């Protein structure tokens, strides 16, 4: 019984904290203000931005990379677990989409560490060419599509799943679904990274009732 309580508290914490960590990641990515950071279209600009970033902010950013790789995928599974008793199929679909999108973050984290080392060695032309060739590889492109579609679609489906399962109030589910639009089409369409940060904060706020529902769920 005690182990289940601890597990539920842990999952509830991950559900709320993970999107806040993501908001911190996008706020600290060295191309400040660019929602596509690190942008694949301008590798020279990326290297210059990584080189110019204040050391304290850069170290914090790299530390967040390590955290995101673990907690972000778990947060989708946690949200799916909350909705599962009321709508298992929708919860499973949303959890699968979210996990497929967020699991790719390991590649994004690795890229951040690599770019940091590239910026220190001052061989920008060669590294820019390497970055361009890397992202031209169809394998990487496929993973990138999985990230873009998966993490956004995961929030939309899980928002509806939480609503249908009556695990959260209407405003909570609506905030999670709307957040996907804010952090996706609106942020990238306007080029405003602040909207992407806002979207993740909206997810965190919407997930507070979900975490509370999980913690208060009667033991079975």
- Its domain, for residue 174, covers 2-216
| pTM across the whole model | 0.91
pLDDT in tens, 112-147: 998 998 888 888 888 888 888 887 888 888 888 888
Domain count, the chain: 1
3-state per-residue secondary structure call for the chain: CHHHHHHHHHHHHHHHHHHHHHHHHHHHCCCCCCCCCCCCCCHHHHHHHHHHCCHHHHHHHHHHHHHHHHHHHHHHHHHHHHHCCCCHHHHHHHHHHHHHHHCCHHHHHHHHHHHHHHHHHCCHHHHHHHHHHHHHCHHHHHHHHHHHHHHHHHHHHHHHHHHHCCCCCHHHHHHHHHHHHHHHHHHHHHCCHHHHHHHHHHHHHHHHHHHHHHHHCCCC
Encode pLDDT of 91-115 as tens digits. 999 999 999 999 988 888 888 998 9
């Amino acid at each position: 019984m005690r182990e289940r309580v601890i597990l539920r508290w842990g999952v509830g914490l991950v559900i709320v904290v993970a999107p806040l960590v993501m908001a911190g990641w996008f706020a600290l990515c060295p191309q400040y203000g660019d929602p596509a950071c690190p942008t694949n279209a301008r590798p020279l600009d990326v290297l210059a931005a990584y080189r110019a970033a204040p050391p304290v902010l850069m170290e914090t950013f790299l530390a967040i990379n390590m955290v995101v790789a673990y907690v972000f995928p778990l947060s989708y599974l946690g949200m799916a677990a909350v909705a599962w008793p009321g709508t298992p199929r929708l919860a499973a679909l949303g959890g699968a989409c979210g996990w497929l999108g967020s699991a790719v973050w390991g590649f994004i984290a690795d890229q951040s560490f690599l770019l940091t080392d590239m910026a220190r060695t001052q061989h920008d032309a060669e590294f820019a060419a390497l970055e361009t060739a890397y992202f031209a590889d169809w394998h990487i492109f496929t993973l990138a599509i999985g990230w873009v579609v998966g993490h956004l679609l995961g929030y939309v489906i899980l928002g509806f799943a939480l609503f249908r399962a009556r695990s959260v109030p209407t405003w909570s589910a609506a905030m999670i679904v709307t957040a996907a639009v804010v952090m996706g089409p609106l942020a990238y369409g306007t080029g405003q990274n602040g909207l992407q940060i806002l979207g993740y904060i909206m997810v965190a706020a919407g997930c507070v009732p979900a975490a509370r529902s999980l913690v208060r769920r009667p033991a079975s």
